[in-house]
Structure formats: C-alpha cells, structure tokens
Structure 1
Amino acid sequence: MGLPRKTCVLTALLGAAATSGLAALVLMLVQATDVLLPAGTKFGLVFDAGSSHTSLFVYRWPADKENDTGVVSQALACQAEGPGISSYASDPARAGESLQGCLEEALALIPAAQHRETPVFLGATAGMRLLSVKNSSQAELIFAAVARALGRAPVDFRGAELLAGQDEGALGWITINYVLRLLVTFSFSGAWVRPADASLVGALDMGGASTQISFVPGGPILDKSTQATLRLYGSDYSVYTHSYLCFGRDQMLNRLLAALAQAFSNFYYTFHFLNLTSGQTLRTANATVWEFCQRPWELVVASYPGQERWLRDYCASGLYILTLLLEGYGFDQDTWSGIEFRQQAGGTDVGWTLGYMLNLTSMIPAEAPARWRAASHGVWTAGVVFVALTLVTILGTAAAQLLWPQA
C-alpha cells in the first residue's frame, strides 16, 4: 500500500524547499567574486605657530595612499585666538591655552573612533627662532607648555618643535607644487600618476620674521646646507632652499619704524590690496606702488574707510617687496611674468603645513582596501528568486501541515 497523500505532498514541498535553498546558496558562494571596498579616510593636524599668529590645518587622505605618499586634501583651517606663541614669553601657560579652541573644532570634525590615531604636530617658525636666540630658556618653557596642552588631548601627539628655516622653505615648495598638480595628478585611466610634462615651480614665502626661497635648480647644489632631498609619490627631488631670518614682515617693520616711522605686510596681502595679483607687468607694479606712496594721507584714508590700521603699511611694504624681488632675488623685466602672488591654490592654503603632512604620510603605514564577496546583478537576481521560492515552499509545507484533515 502506498504512502498517504498528505505525506507525499509534504515530502514534495520539503524537497522543493531544500532544492531551491541549495541553489540560492550555490549561487551566492560559487558565483561571488572579490571586490575592493573604498579605503577609509585618515586625518592629520598641523599647527603653524608663526610670529604673529598660530593657525591649525586639518588634512585628510585615503588610507591606502599612492606610491607610499598620501593624496592629501585640506579639511579645515582655524586661526587661534591671540598673537603668536612667542608673544607669551612672560606667561608660557597661555601659549598652550591659546590652541584649545581650534583643537576642539578639529576634533569635532574627525570621527571620535579615529582621534587616538590622528597625528598632531606643532611647528614653530621664525618668531620662536628669534626667541630661542634671545632667550632659550623662555622658548623652552613655551614649548613645554604647548606640549603639555596638546599631550593631554586624545590624539597621537607627535611633538612641538622649532622648524628650521630650510625645512620651512622645502615644505612650502612641496605644498605649492602639490596643489598645482605638478607632483601627482589623476589620469584619464583612473590612476594617480606623475605628470609627464610637469614644469616644477619655485616658492617664495614671507612670514613675520623670515622670508624663504625654494626651487629645483638646473644644476647641482654646491652648498649642501641649502639642499633638501625629498621623495614623494615614488620620485626623488633635490631642492635648493634658503631662509633669511629677520627679513620677514614684522622684523623689517621694526627696522623701518626705527628709521622711517613706517611699516609693511607680506607678499600676497600687499599686492592684493594694490590690485597687482593678476599678472601685471613689472612696469605696472612699479608705477602702482609709487603712485600709492605719493597720495596724500587724507586722500588714502578717505578712499579706504575702516582700514586705517593697515593703510600706513602698504607703501613701505610694496617698496620692500619690489626691492627684495628685484635686488635681492634677482628678478627682472623678463622673469617678472613668472611670479604669481597667491594665498590659496586649489582651495588649499599655501604654506609649509601641507608639505609637512604629505611628507609625514610617507611614514604612516597604508591600509589595504577591505575585501568583500559580491555577485553580478544577474546572479544576485537569480539568488533572490530561489530564496523567495524556498520561503514560499516552506510556508506551503506549514500550511499543508496545519490545514490537512487528520487521518
């Protein structure tokens, strides 16, 4: 005598459920392929402790890097309250306190889970170089206060140090060539490559207490003390860089005040005020500076209301910049057109801090992209169908069991 009808139906339904479930499992496991998920994002913080103020820059880059160097972008810029840290010689603790506002703003931007692995560095430039020469013990107390303040933060604090003038110049050179995409660029093939016809540019920088010049010369650098050797994105660079201490904005201001009762500001701000940042000729620049210097003071004040604090500086500043570029660095009528005055490039502040972070990323281990098992759309659709069939047959089996009349 054969099996009861109920048993046959239930057996058939369970067999169908098992078959469709096994088919779905095979499709998911056998037909799946490995895919790489996008790499995570790393962050880094750099404090630029200049002579007149301190700025914090937050940078980010994909964790997998490119040729051992991160593809870095600027995520935040914050100017700390108060003057530069060298101004706190009589009260060093306030130097550390002055950084807290910007630090808190940066940490609010970075995911909390990444705070402990985020590198933080403070580099002090010419203002602290001068203080170190005048009173090394005061400079040490300021660095100690800054280190205590940043060391208490939930970050990977890398130190607070005096940045050598040559390092400041070389790192500034890295920054400007990077933001102009002369070190690495994204190709049409979807890869980061070094531009084949890239023409590297030199960098001129003027801070409050020093001015720097950096470039790749056409021949060997004879004075090795002016040479910086860099490796970025798999390529080596030999850069000439020199820093002139006491030839920055504020130091020259002190000398001019003593001699002429005048003042001045740095490259970009002065020439921006004089509307000379759009590629004007040397003749135009020279005529514009002299025309401004010859205006009556009453006319100048009336023409620029609310700017009295800075107006007295622009004449002397413009004349100093022309003298420095022409007499100091040797630019002339033919080479003047090669100078560009910029505060930003590619949405990034121009300075040494980005160069520092790019250089630092070469020492931070890269993270491999995460792997995941994935299937094509067709295979995924078939798998969904089989899973649905499995659920339907299981539900049918349960319904048959409940509703079938008992023997």
Structure 2
Amino acid sequence: MTSPTLLLTLSLWLLAGSLLTEATYYRHHRYIPHFYRYREHSANTENLLPEISSPVREVPQPGVPTYPEIPEVFHPAPEVIPPIPGAFHPVPEVVHPAPEVYQPVPEASSRVFHGIMFDAGSTGTRIHIYKFIQKDPVELPVLDNEMYHAVKPGLSAYKDNPEEGGNTIRQLLKIAKKTVPEEEWRRTPVVLKATAGLRLLPEDKASALLKEVQEVFDESPFFVPNNSVSLMNGTNEGVLAWVTVNFLTGHLYSNTRRTVGILDLGGGSTQITFLPKSKKTIQSAPSNYIARFNLFNHTYQLYTHSYLGNGLYAARLATLGALGADGRVSSAFCHLYMHLFFPKCYAGYKLCYYEVMKVIKGIVHQPYEVKGSSIFYAFSYYFDRAVESGLIGEWAPTKESPFLQIIIFLCNKMTKYRAISPFLCMDMTYITCLLKEGFGFKENTVLQLAKKVNNVETSWALGATFDYFRNLNIH
C-alpha cells in the first residue's frame, strides 16, 4: 500500500507538470502586436517549449481531489492601427463652409475713368465725354462708351461777343454733369482744343474767346489741367485723328503694323495722314510733312499735313474769289456769288470743276503712296456731303462709279436741287477735285466713308484724349 507521503509527492509533481504545460501554451499564443511580432528575435523562439497541439486530458487518479474545469475564454485583442503621420490626418468634415474671402482686384487692372474733350471747330462746338476701363497699365485702355453732343455755330462766330461764346460751353458742361458720376467730377479732366475756325481769326479775337472759355472751365466742378484751353496746330489735328480711327478699327491693338489712313475735311482746313509703307514716300515728302510720336510702346512715323484754307467752307469762299489776301471775306462776295460762279455751275460740271481746280492746283502735295492700295477712311464733310447727295457706304470715284455720275447729274440739274442745298454742286465738285487733282488718288481708289466707327465719332477728339493721358510727344 502506498504511503500518503508518496501519494502527496506524486500529486504535486503531476500538478506542477500540468501548470508548466499550460504556461507554455499561453505564452506561445498570446496576442503580439504586428509591430513587435515580426521583430521578435529567433533566439527567443528557440527557447520556447514545443507547442502541444492536442494536449492529453489528465485521467483522475484515485484519492486525488478533482477541481471543476474552467473553460478557456479567448478575448481577442483589439486591432492595433499604427499611428497615421500628421500630414495624412483626415480633415474633419466642414458642415458650414467658411465664406469665400474676397480678394480685391488691383486698382490698376480695373480702373474706370472719364475724359471730357471739346472740339471747337469752325462750324460748331462738340463735346466728347469718354468712359474708359484700364485693365492693364501698359496696354491700351478699353473705351466703354462715348457721349457726344454738338452746337452750332462754332466759337469763331462769337469773335465779337466772347461772353456769348462762353455760354455755349456752359450749356455743354451741363451735359457732362449728367453723364459723369458726381464723385468722379474732381478727377475728370476737361480740355478744349480749337481748330481752323479760330486759327483763321485775328490773334486778339481768338485769344479773347479762349480766355472766356478758360473762365468757364475754372468755375466748373471738373478737373482743369494746365493748358486746358488751347489752339491746336494742324499737324496734331491730323495725327490725333489717325490715332482715333486706328484705335476704333482695332489696328493699334495688333502687332501687324497694318493701319488705315485718314482724310478729314473740316470747314476751315483738311488733313491727310497715313503710315507710309514705302521709304520713297518719306524721302519725297517735305520734312514738315513727317511726324513722329510714341504710343503704348510703339513709335510711329506718319505722313501728315493740314491744309489751312482748304476746308469746305474756306474753299467755297476761295473759289468764289471772296477771300482777300489776309484770308478775310471781301466785299465782292455777294456779287461774285450771284453773277460769276453760279451761272458757270449751272452750265455744267466741267465749268464748275475748272473753277474749283484753281483753289487746289499747285497747293496740295501729292504723296507717292496714295497711288497704291492703301485703305483710307474719309469723314466729316466727306461723309456729310455724300449722304446729302445719296452716297452711302464705300465710295469709289471711278468714271463708271455712282460718285462722278451723281456729281455730274447734280451739277447739270442744279435748278432742281438748288432749294435743297445751293452749294451741293460746288462742294461735291471740290471734293472730287481735291482727291484727284490735289492728293493724287487714282480714279479706282475706294474710300471708306464713316461718321462713326463702333458707335464712336471719327474725329481727332479721342486721340487728343489719349494725348492728354499718355503725352504722345508729337514732333
């Protein structure tokens, strides 16, 4: 019979072996995070006891107390997610997005400004109110719109009553106040430039008129720059009209250097201006017929000249012999008008043409290049008289064209049209002679008649406004 001491020793030995076996099992299968599991040294694994895949259930021994078996409970460890680098942290969802921050556009790229230019011509005074948008300080501004109004007669008609001439300027300034926003008045320049009408006046009378206009400007709410009232020379008149037309037709925006020429026929003077393509045009022209200026990083060299006394009204008087050597109307005007010229005009187109040619022949220079295919825009009285005589659109002065046919028809049938415009025959004959005998245009030259381009008046006024803002330095 086995002694109790031996039984107790044997039980303790079996219990110790069972605990050792369970300890080995749980050490091998406990949860080890991936980060550590794959970095565990192999030497540690070799020190573990072999894994028991199917442990043998212990058989209870007689006389050895038994304990209820406690079922093994597995609590899987939660998955450990490696920390995400800060740069990849998800951004919390914004339920109410923050309002967009307004970024103001730089002032230079969206500047809106106005300019007021008065054209004091021989037959009327015109006000041009321009609104510009400057998107880029080094590029051409965008002309948003123009407000235009004219009154007759011109300032020169008030040579003996300057105060009344100043009142016409006050009336036009009222239109400017309604057009330009009040908050813009103090920074909107107002400028007046007088042309041939005042250039033909005696100096003291022209100065009195300009002084009166200056006083009207000084009492206005607009910005009055230095030299805001002046007498403009003929060269600037032609160059600035060229700038206007080429700006409105888009030629100043392109880099092709393709431009159009201009023909401006006023009451007291007429201008021709174009960009020569041939060196021969420049070399054969008188030196004072070439003008240079810089505009928006481009230097232009133009052929330009203004013929004072060859405007439509001045040419009438000269044709009738009504102008003396000083340029004033002679006392013989009425007699010549009724008895000398009109009978010849009634007699037919050829006699009219002969009389008119005396005013042009040998006076007007013929530039070499107009005999080519250059495009010219003709405006002012070129346009007005063409409308009155039924010419609209392109004007082609050829022998077979409506232009000459209408002139011959009007002059040969002057009795019928005298009530409508007693000077129509003379004016149209003069225009024909000026283009052909004066400037030397070919009979098949096509002229673009235009009063407006893109709804803006074709005159020097827009170019003069650019001159004020940019200082073209014409010389």
User: Which TM-score applies when normalising by structure 2?
Assistant: 0.62
Are positions 1:278 and 2:380 aligned together? no
Shift of 1:71: 2.3
For 2:224, the aligned partner's letter is F
Cα drift, residue 126 of structure 1: 0.3
In structure 2, runs of 5+ residues without a counterpart are: 1-93, 322-335, 346-355, 357-379
Counterpart contact for 1:69–1:358, Cα < 8 Å: no
- The structure carrying a bigger helix percent of its residues is 1
Matched, 1:113 2:190: no
1:313 to 2:372 alignment? no
Once residues 270 and 237 of structure 2 are traced to their aligned partners in structure 1, the CA distance between those partners, rounded to angstroms, is 10
How far apart are the structure 1 equivalents of 2:212 and 2:452?
31
C-alpha offsets along residues 367-400 of structure 1, whole Å, 9 cap, x if unaligned? xxxxxxxxxxxxxxxxxxxxxxxxxxxxxxxxxx
Paired residue for 1:241? 304
Counterpart of 2:210?
Answer: 143
Residues 130-167 of structure 1 deviation map (CA, whole Å, 9 limit, x = unaligned): 11xxx211111111001001111011123110000000
1:24-103 paired onto structure 2 within 5 Å: 27-28=98-99, 32=101, 34=103, 36=105, 39-80=110-151, 82-103=152-173
Aligned position for 1:344: 452
1:18-69 CA-to-partner distances (Å, cap 9, x unmatched) read: xxxxx799945xx847452772420000000001110000001114455254
- 1:72 match: secondary structure: strand
Q: Which of residues 161, 174, 196 is equivalent to 2:230?
A: 161
In 2, the alpha carbon distance for the partners of 1:136 and 1:280 equals 39
The structure-2 alpha-carbon separation of the partners of 1:62 and 1:138, relative to structure 1 and needing over 3 Å to count, comes to same
Q: 2:316 aligns to what SS in structure 1?
A: helix
Of 48-57 and 276-285, deviating more is 276-285
Residue 72 of structure 1 deviates from its aligned partner by: 2.5
Q: Which amino acid aligns with 1:324?
A: L
Q: 2:259 matched to 1:200?
A: yes
Confirm or deny: 8 A CA contact 1:61 1:72 kept in the other structure. yes
CA distance in 2, matches of 1:209, 1:217: 26
Counterpart in 2 of 1:326?
Answer: 436
Identity of matched residues, %:
26
The answer (yes or no) to whether the contact 1:117–1:155 under 8 Å persists in 2 is yes
**Bigger Rg, which one:** 2
Conservation of the 8 A alpha-carbon contact between 2:134 and 2:140: no
In the comparison of the two structures, how many residue pairs are matched?
316
Task: Give TM-score, length-normalised by structure 1.
Answer: 0.72
Aligned to 1:188: none
Tell me the distance in 2 between the aligned counterparts of 1:34 and 1:74: 28
Residue in structure 2 matching 1:226, options 280, 283, 289: 289
Residues 120 and 195, structure 2, Cα contact 8 Å, conserved in 1: yes
Identify if the C-alpha distance between structure 1 residues 198 and 279 changes in structure 2 by more than 3 Å, giving closer, same or farther: same
AA aligned opposite 1:39 = S
Structure 2 equivalent of residue 397 of structure 1: none
Per the TM alignment, residue 178 of structure 1 is displaced from its structure 2 partner at its CA by 1.1
Deviation at residue 88 of structure 1 after TM alignment: 1.3
**Distance in 2 separating the partners of 1:244 and 1:112:** 41
CA RMSD of aligned residues (A): 2.6
Segments of 5+ residues of structure 1 without an aligned counterpart are: 1-22, 185-193, 302-307, 365-407
SS in 2 for 1:83: coil
**Secondary structure at 2:450 match in 1:** coil
